[in-house]
Amino acid sequence: MNKITLWSIIVALAGFLFGFDTVVISGADQQLQELWGSSDVFHGSVVMAMALWGTVIGAMFGGIPTNKIGRKKTLIWIGVLYTISAIGSAMVNDPYTFAAFRFIGGLGVGASTVAAPAYVSEIAPAKDRGRLVGFYQFNIVLGILIAFLSNYLLSNVGENAWRWMVGVEAIPAFIYTILVLTVPKSPRWLLLNGRREEASKTLALLNPGEDVEKIMNDIEESQSDHHSSNETIFMKKYRFPLILAFLIAFFNQLSGINAFLYYAPRIFQEAGLGESTALLSSIGIGVTNMVFTLIGISLIDKLGRKKLMYIGSVGYIISLSLVAMAFFFEWEGIAVPIFLFVFIASHAIGQGTVIWVFISEVFPDQLRAAGQSFGTSTHWVLAAIIPSMVPFLFSTIGPGTVFAIFAFMMVLQLLFVKFMMPETKGVPLEELEKLLTKKE
């Protein structure tokens, strides 16, 4: 395994902790509500959702440390936040302190969606960039699957099972923090900060046998075109990359993916499956998600980002329409789970694989962290709002209508892919910048 792949995998472990952290709470959900006697509203909005709001804040402001102290140091701090959150959540005795420690973990999740893809896209060669940044998404789904599995295995360790469920995350968090200490600093970040000598050493490691001086000059020339300290992603010339980052994140959540991941057992029960079948189906979701993410990652640099989004969009439209029809016409039994597995597969191979890669490619070096922060914040704000509306929408307009709305949004996504989305496969970051940025 070469150095770049190894470093990309280490940094992508932040994604494993993100996936694990997001799902691990589902295993402790009912135990905690009984233990603290919380009302549904308090339990949902404070105990369960606090990590999500931490994520929103982490994503909104994660660009600041990613730029100021650098990609690597930010990633180390993310590991520290995860470790503190896991140990703290496992030791507490009241819902408020529990929510506070979960919030700290959420900050780590949000910041990792900014720093990790930005770092990997900056060290990866153009031809492998999709696959290497894609490791982040693969680790997210691996984390989700391991969390489902870990909850299942720890569910019988007695009345304090929930402490083990949320606390066990400290082990991978600590290992990740130690491993991140071994990766080099991003050469593009070093050059932005005038540290040429360090950048040259890292670039020599990343590009053995190539003319490092020429690579540095290309990066610096591209950076100097935009390097005035008062530039922001909201300037007119960056409008196109900004719209691209917004729309890909917007459609990601309006497929209903997070609403579905959070409420999978509830949706399966609405469709007439028993409780144990519903729980088992959740592990099936984790496996499907992982297999199709692997397929997506293996294809992203061969077929390109747009083709994967086409495949995903068509899969979304078919599967969501069928789920909506199943609820409208009351098809019983196994139909809904099968359609939803097709939905998960479509998500994993399209949006799931593409989103973090694409957002990390469309902004110039000095605005990458801010752009990444904008795209991921859009994603996380919607990820907080849409799932919280699901129980209400199911009981008012019904699951059939909800899935029909998601299906319609995916028709709009297909139009976005066809008419607006550029293909970024194999294009060096410096050239992408020239293509996507308007000249003043």
Return the HEC string of the chain: CCHHHHHHHHHHHHHHHHHHHHHHHHHHHHHHHHHHCCCHHHHHHHHHCHHHHHHHHHHHHCHHHHHHCCHHHHHHHHHHHHHHHHHHHHHCCCHHHHHHHHHHHHHHHHHHHHHHHHHHHHHCCHHHHHHHHHHHHHHHHHHHHHHHHHHHHHCCCCCCHHHHHHHCCHHHHHHHHHHHCCCCCCHHHHHHCCCHHHHHHHHHHHCCCCCHHHHHHHHHHHHHHHCCCCCCCCCHHHHHHHHHHHHHHHHHHCCCHHHHHHHHHHHHHHCCCCHHHHHHHHHHHHHHHHHHHHHHHHHCCCCCHHHHHHHHHHHHHHHHHHHHHHHHCCCCCCHHHHHHHHHHHHHHHHHHHHHHHHHHHCCCHHHHHHHHHHHHHHHHHHHHHHHHHHHHHHHHCCHHHHHHHHHHHHHHHHHHHHHCCCCCCCCCHHHHHHHHCCCC
Per-residue pLDDT of the chain (440 residues; tens, 9 = 90+): 688 999 999 999 999 998 888 877 776 666 677 777 777 777 766 777 788 889 999 999 999 999 999 999 999 999 999 999 999 988 988 888 988 998 999 999 999 999 999 999 999 888 889 899 999 999 999 998 888 888 778 877 777 888 888 899 999 999 999 999 999 999 999 998 889 999 999 988 887 877 888 888 888 887 776 556 678 888 888 999 999 999 999 999 999 887 777 666 667 766 666 655 666 677 788 889 999 999 999 999 999 999 999 999 999 999 999 988 988 888 766 777 888 889 999 999 999 999 988 998 999 888 898 998 999 999 988 987 887 777 778 788 888 899 999 999 999 999 999 999 999 998 888 888 888 887 65
What is the dihedral sign for C-alpha 186, 17, 168, 65? Answer: positive
322 φψ region: left (φ > 0), alpha (ψ -120 to 50), beta (else): alpha
User: Which of 92, 89, 115 lies closest to 12 in space, CA to CA?
Assistant: 115
What is the dihedral sign for C-alpha 368, 246, 16, 319? Answer: negative
Tally the residues of the chain: 440
